[in-house]
Amino acid sequence: MKRLTTLIFHFYRPLFFINLVFSFCAIFDLIKFGLRAMPIVIIIKLFGYLVCISYQYFFSAKSYFYYRNAGLSARLMYTYIFILDILLFILLSTIILIPFYALTHLKG
């Protein structure tokens, strides 16, 4: 399991900043428009995943053999990092939105 987490973070490292930018754009839309912007947020995140796959395929396609030799396919690695990114997005949006909504709806 330790090797799997190391491989996942090694695969996710070049994509982290790109996913973080799209996550903050989605959180900004949630703050600005509220929960009715959820379809836009989903489109932003899907577009971010498309950009990440394109970036990884264009710049790092030759490193896929490293993960295949470790017994993991590139498709499985993308699944792992997208699950990790969704969990990170939920955590970030919770940390940012709860105080924001608490301050805006605070009476008194």
Tell whether pTM > 0.75.
Answer: yes
Q: Which residue has the higher pLDDT, 44 or 34?
A: 44
Q: How many CA atoms lie within 13 A of 4 on its CB side?
A: 8
Q: Is pLDDT at 66 greater than 70 in this prediction?
A: yes
CA–CA distance, 93 with 87 (Å, rounded to integer): 10
The whole-number average pLDDT for the span 6-27 is 90
Residue 100 confidence class, pLDDT cut points 50, 70, 90: confident
